[in-house]
A and B are shown apart, each in its own frame.
Chain A
Amino acid sequence: MRYLPLTADDRAEMMKTIGAKSVDDFYNDVPVSARLKGPVPGLPNHVGELEVERHMTKLSKKNRAASDGPFFVGCGAYKHHIPASVDHIIQRSEFLTTYTPYQPEIAQGTLQTMFEFQTQVAALTGMEVANASMYDGSTACAEAAVMACRVTKRNTVVLSGGLHPHYADTTRTLCEANGIKVIQLTPAVDGELELSKHVDDAACVIGQTPNVFGTLTDLTPVADAAHAKGALLVTVFTEVVSLGLVKTPGEMGADIAVGEGQSIGVPLGFGGPYVGLFTCKSKFMRQMPGRLCGETVDADGKRGFVLTLSTREQHIRRDKATSNICTNSGLCMLAFTAHMTLLGDNGLTHLATLNHEAACDLADALAAVKGVKVLTTRYFNEIAFETMKPADQVLAALEKHDVIGGVRASRLFPGAGMDNVIVAAATECCTAADIAAYAQALAQVLA
């Protein structure tokens, strides 16, 4: 076995040192009825690299990769180009094969990247503090709702009709378990400002911009309305690249801002692992979930970094912790920070501009197709549009033209009467030819 260094002689010699007769001696505490005499039945034995590669490659070929042709799927995960050096950096042994930096003297590499990440995320969102990552945007959203209840000592959270339904469902699951009441507003392409009407007695209202239909909303009026009633504003984004151009959560007066960081540095990967971003005002710092890295000095007075404020966390506070999270998204955090470092402010703004232009071009191209109505009016890189035909049929027909045209709203919100609506995203990866191919195929499908 290529991964097991002990030889038969080693094992025998070690047994002698231990004074045991066989490994069975070590398993003496296992109830007799539960002791397996040999390998688990019904499963094959070990194979070499070649066989594994053959099998996995065969399975991978059954999937249509985003880069295989025109591709316009968004809704919480976005196809972006990742610089080659990012993957090189995250595959450095010293980053890939190390653990949570609990021993800071030999983990300054990880810790400094965390500190840089926290600074970048705070600057991008315009918020005061950021943590060192959550599992993904949806769990960050759920934790934000629970945290808002802790902070305000209230027990109701209100979710906008434009919040990604997976985020809404994830939040509801955690809230219900905590005895928190969840009010979910009706799905709507442009519904975020509705939140202002539901601030009374709420711990927080949660709005998304750009929302799941692509709509951008300045949530400042919601922040004002919420604050006037002692509620918090939690903002959500699923497309972090938008922050290169759009008004930030901080500028809108958000108290907590969470989002998905996948778009910077992390491949689509069929939905995970991703990297949840979690930020808030400094006054709520001690109520945050997750790990935080802080600056300090070592015994020689040299600058260094450590995990800090851990009295919030499960390993110290146990059942009183702010969250149960332990393992987070470390390596995806590194990918994010490395890609962001390669971009810089100008690079990000530039990238965001290209995304926005691609979406404008897509919207114009689709709007020119007979029978298409574009529903989103203010957007970044994603739009919703409606046709006269059921979206599932349209998307299936587009697939025959090798165009993966987006997500049907009925998959997001079944039974919401949005059967003919499609949500489509365009990024810097979509060429003019891709967009033309989409419009052409759609014209044929709708004809």
Chain B
Amino acid sequence: MTMNSTGRPTSISANGGSGTDVTVSGSKGLLQAEGLIFEIGSSDKTGVDLPKPKGTKSRLGGVTRGAPSGLPGLTEPEAVRHYVRLSQKNYAIDLGLFPLGSCTMKHNPRLNEKMARLPGFADVHPMQPQATVQGALEVIEELADWLMKLTNMPAVAMTPKAGAHGELAGMLAIRAALIARGEGEKRKRVLVPVSAHGTNPATAAQCGFIIDEINAAADGRVDLEDLKSKLVDSSDVAGIMLTNPNTCGLFERDIKAIADLIHAAGGYFYCDGANFNAIVGRVRPGDLGVDAMHINLHKTFSTPHGGGGPGSGPTVLSAALAPYAPVPFITKTADGLRFVEHHSEAPDSFGRMCAFHGQMGMFTRALAYILSHGADGLRQVAEDAVLNANYILARLKPLMSPAFEGYCMHEALFSDAFLKDTGVETIDIAKGLIDEGYHPMTMYFPLVVHGAMLIEPTETESKAELDRFCDALASIARRAVQKDPSLKTAPHLAPARRLDETRAARSPRLKWTPETPTMKAAE
């Protein structure tokens, strides 16, 4: 049957296609313009119906609020629309490949969301009697057991709330171990490769350590000679913070030698485990001489990134560091599982690093993920993640410039060498990808590679999706070499054009104020 098209225009007439995207509403088809809640709501509106107060008692003791907050409310239909409209201005894994290197943007299974919302997990209080939360403690124990076995490490601190918080746990344990050895004042120097993520030096500094940078060798690994030279006088060395697989997407092939050198120097080996996805089920960090390593549950174990968090960063510890682990931790007693919550019960512990017992909502999700995959599935995860990255590397090698020779682990790293003399920069490639319907790769990180482009596809992409992505990036690379000027102003098809970050930083507007003139034209 053919469609009756009588009277119905099926193609744009010569003068009907308006060429301009200016609409009265400010919307563009499915993409709705949406103001701030302060512009569309009002303080006498609400999306909750509450019972009437009795209005009798006040025991506030006069400590009462002076001026009202004046915050606007919205009814439920208005609020739902507000957030759904805003959501449509976001890119997400559920929309497509999200090749942000170092961030492991894999699919977030919905089973995990369902499990985390079981009332027995979501609706229990951290301070209710421990006899009434034995199932919650069992979840923590079960997840801890998996993490220790997957890493072949004898202990794990479960409370850290993200990767950087896990780094803090590890470095505080190292600090406590050094103090226990009577060398706390003497050993203050921590070796950190130039290629390290910013959280590594920031964490070490937060623990009172002094950062000593070590260079990268031409092959993207730690420069062993440079490391040795930094250990000639090692009496002040506290340890090393090394990412493995490293931020260039490469396995540190001298890792055991590095661990031995550090240990011989009297220091400890902190391993940044952000890239565990490349090796989970195939290599156990405990077999490499590691003393402490955080695991980002929001990377390897698929808990959602949520637009910037929350995360969770359990930190596995060697026998040497285990006594200094933070409180609380779980012990088994005749009455069941119990938290050791106080420093007085664990005098060697470096103390507490957050309220309560860690990111339970992430534990339930991660455990559901781990049980779903099992030991066999997790090994396949690593293999497919590495295979996908090498496939991208192989397909784009002819057009772009791989930063290093040989195979990669779970992420493919390119430099901007292929852009030389084109006027096109890494950021333009990234913004060009946006127009092709992709989130850009990580750009300008790691710092050791000029104009770095770090691509991490993860294992949850099909070959067809990888091919589509490679085709898109290849075409951008070709356009770049041809000096296509439109790349310099990309994106053209996104909800917003390039934003003026300099202006934002020069005169910061960090909140809405009633006086804010609606800015119609660029200065």
Interface string of B19-59 (1 = CB under 8 A from A): 00000000000000010111001111111101101111111
The reply to whether B71 and A344 contact each other, CB–CB distance below 8 Å, is yes
B358 within 8 A of A: yes
Given contacts A99-B305, A399-B131, contact A217 B63 (CB under 8 A): yes
Residues on A with beta carbons closer than 8 Å to the beta carbon of B355: 76, 136-138, 164, 166-167, 170, 260, 271
The reply to whether B305 and A97 contact each other, CB–CB distance below 8 Å, is yes
A229 within 8 A of B: no
A368 within 8 A of B: no
Interchain CA distance A338-B48 in the complex, whole Å: 12
Question: 8 tightest CB-CB pairs across the interface, nearest first?
Answer: A344-B73, A378-B61, A60-B120, A271-B356, A331-B306, A62-B135, A271-B126, A330-B308
Q: List 22 A-B contacts (CB under 8 A).
A: A17-B394, A23-B386, A26-B409, A29-B252, A42-B149, A62-B138, A64-B133, A67-B123, A76-B126, A98-B305, A103-B434, A104-B496, A119-B512, A139-B161, A139-B165, A177-B206, A273-B161, A273-B310, A302-B497, A343-B47, A345-B71, A353-B53
Residues on B with beta carbons closer than 8 Å to the beta carbon of A52: 111, 115, 368, 371-372
Residues on A with beta carbons closer than 8 Å to the beta carbon of B403: none
Query: How many A residues face the partner with a CB closer than 8 A?
Result: 217
Rounded to whole Å, the gap between the CB of A431 and the closest CB of chain B is: 10
Rounded to whole Å, the gap between the CB of B436 and the closest CB of chain A is: 12
The reply to whether B60 and A331 contact each other, CB–CB distance below 8 Å, is no
The reply to whether A316 and B198 contact each other, CB–CB distance below 8 Å, is yes
The reply to whether A135 and B310 contact each other, CB–CB distance below 8 Å, is yes
The reply to whether B496 and A62 contact each other, CB–CB distance below 8 Å, is no
The reply to whether A301 and B520 contact each other, CB–CB distance below 8 Å, is yes
Choose, from B87-95, B261-269, B479-487, the stretch at the interface.
B87-95
A108 within 8 A of B: yes
Interchain CA distance A359-B105 in the complex, whole Å: 45
The reply to whether A99 and B124 contact each other, CB–CB distance below 8 Å, is no
Interface string of B310-349 (1 = CB under 8 A from A): 1110000000000000100000000000000111100000
- Out of B60, B197, B205, name the residue touching A246 (CB < 8 Å): B60
Residues on A with beta carbons closer than 8 Å to the beta carbon of B38: 116, 119
Choose, from A2-10, A154-162, A194-202, A434-442, the stretch at the interface.
A2-10
- Out of A63, A75, A310, name the residue touching B120 (CB < 8 Å): A63
Residues on A with beta carbons closer than 8 Å to the beta carbon of B391: 14, 17-18
Interchain CA distance A46-B312 in the complex, whole Å: 23
Residues on A with beta carbons closer than 8 Å to the beta carbon of B71: 120, 123-124, 340, 343-345, 348
Closest to A332 in B: B310
Interface string of A98-112 (1 = CB under 8 A from B): 111101111111101
B469 within 8 A of A: no
The reply to whether B282 and A327 contact each other, CB–CB distance below 8 Å, is no
- Out of B68, B127, B149, B343, name the residue touching A77 (CB < 8 Å): B127
B156 within 8 A of A: no
The reply to whether A85 and B309 contact each other, CB–CB distance below 8 Å, is no
Interface residues of A in 312-344 (CB under 8 A from B): 313-321, 323-334, 338, 340-344
B504 within 8 A of A: yes
A19 within 8 A of B: yes
Interface string of A391-419 (1 = CB under 8 A from B): 00001100100001001000100110000
Residues on B with beta carbons closer than 8 Å to the beta carbon of A40: 149-150, 281, 284, 375, 378-379
- Out of A101, A395, A411, name the residue touching B307 (CB < 8 Å): A101
The reply to whether A344 and B43 contact each other, CB–CB distance below 8 Å, is yes
B477 within 8 A of A: no
B10 within 8 A of A: no
Residues on A with beta carbons closer than 8 Å to the beta carbon of B510: 115, 118, 129-130, 285, 292-295, 308
Rounded to whole Å, the gap between the CB of A108 and the closest CB of chain B is: 4
The reply to whether B354 and A106 contact each other, CB–CB distance below 8 Å, is no
Rounded to whole Å, the gap between the CB of A49 and the closest CB of chain B is: 5
- Out of A34, A66, A314, name the residue touching B283 (CB < 8 Å): A34
A224 within 8 A of B: no
Residues on A with beta carbons closer than 8 Å to the beta carbon of B341: 411
The reply to whether B124 and A314 contact each other, CB–CB distance below 8 Å, is no
Interchain CA distance A31-B128 in the complex, whole Å: 47
The reply to whether B122 and A269 contact each other, CB–CB distance below 8 Å, is yes
Query: How many B residues face the partner with a CB closer than 8 A?
Result: 216
Residues on B with beta carbons closer than 8 Å to the beta carbon of A92: 83-84, 87
B503 within 8 A of A: yes
Residues on A with beta carbons closer than 8 Å to the beta carbon of B84: 89, 92
The reply to whether B48 and A343 contact each other, CB–CB distance below 8 Å, is yes
Interchain CA distance A60-B119 in the complex, whole Å: 7
Closest to A269 in B: B361
Interchain CA distance A85-B342 in the complex, whole Å: 39
Residues on B with beta carbons closer than 8 Å to the beta carbon of A319: 201-202, 204-205, 211
- Out of B51, B136, B354, name the residue touching A170 (CB < 8 Å): B354
The reply to whether A66 and B124 contact each other, CB–CB distance below 8 Å, is yes
- Out of A5, A41, A331, A378, name the residue touching B304 (CB < 8 Å): A331
The reply to whether A326 and B522 contact each other, CB–CB distance below 8 Å, is no
The reply to whether A297 and B93 contact each other, CB–CB distance below 8 Å, is no
12 more contacts with CB within 8 A, not counting A18-B391, A170-B353, are A26-B409, A56-B368, A60-B135, A94-B88, A104-B496, A118-B511, A169-B343, A270-B124, A328-B309, A343-B73, A344-B74, A395-B129
Interchain CA distance A291-B510 in the complex, whole Å: 11
The reply to whether B306 and A380 contact each other, CB–CB distance below 8 Å, is no
The reply to whether B98 and A99 contact each other, CB–CB distance below 8 Å, is yes
Interface residues of B in 268-304 (CB under 8 A from A): 279, 281-284, 287-288, 296, 298, 304
B208 within 8 A of A: yes
Interchain CA distance A94-B253 in the complex, whole Å: 39
The reply to whether A324 and B66 contact each other, CB–CB distance below 8 Å, is no
A174 within 8 A of B: yes
The reply to whether A3 and B107 contact each other, CB–CB distance below 8 Å, is yes
The reply to whether A65 and B120 contact each other, CB–CB distance below 8 Å, is yes
Given contacts A98-B91, A343-B73, A378-B60, contact A23 B387 (CB under 8 A): yes
Closest to B84 in A: A92
Closest to A143 in B: B206
- Out of A10, A297, A300, name the residue touching B503 (CB < 8 Å): A297
Rounded to whole Å, the gap between the CB of B135 and the closest CB of chain A is: 3
B500 within 8 A of A: yes
The reply to whether A298 and B499 contact each other, CB–CB distance below 8 Å, is yes
The reply to whether A318 and B283 contact each other, CB–CB distance below 8 Å, is no
Interchain CA distance A298-B518 in the complex, whole Å: 13
- Out of B68, B135, B395, B459, name the residue touching A349 (CB < 8 Å): B68
The reply to whether A314 and B198 contact each other, CB–CB distance below 8 Å, is yes
Rounded to whole Å, the gap between the CB of A275 and the closest CB of chain B is: 8
The reply to whether B251 and A109 contact each other, CB–CB distance below 8 Å, is no
The reply to whether B459 and A4 contact each other, CB–CB distance below 8 Å, is yes
Interchain CA distance A5-B408 in the complex, whole Å: 21
B222 within 8 A of A: no
B224 within 8 A of A: no
Closest to B112 in A: A52
Rounded to whole Å, the gap between the CB of B339 and the closest CB of chain A is: 10
Interchain CA distance A86-B51 in the complex, whole Å: 20
Interchain CA distance A209-B134 in the complex, whole Å: 32
Given contacts A77-B127, A95-B87, A170-B354, contact A314 B202 (CB under 8 A): yes
Interchain CA distance A46-B380 in the complex, whole Å: 11
Interface residues of A in 18-62 (CB under 8 A from B): 18-20, 23, 25-31, 33-36, 38-49, 51-53, 55-62
B362 within 8 A of A: yes
Rounded to whole Å, the gap between the CB of A235 and the closest CB of chain B is: 12
B17 within 8 A of A: no
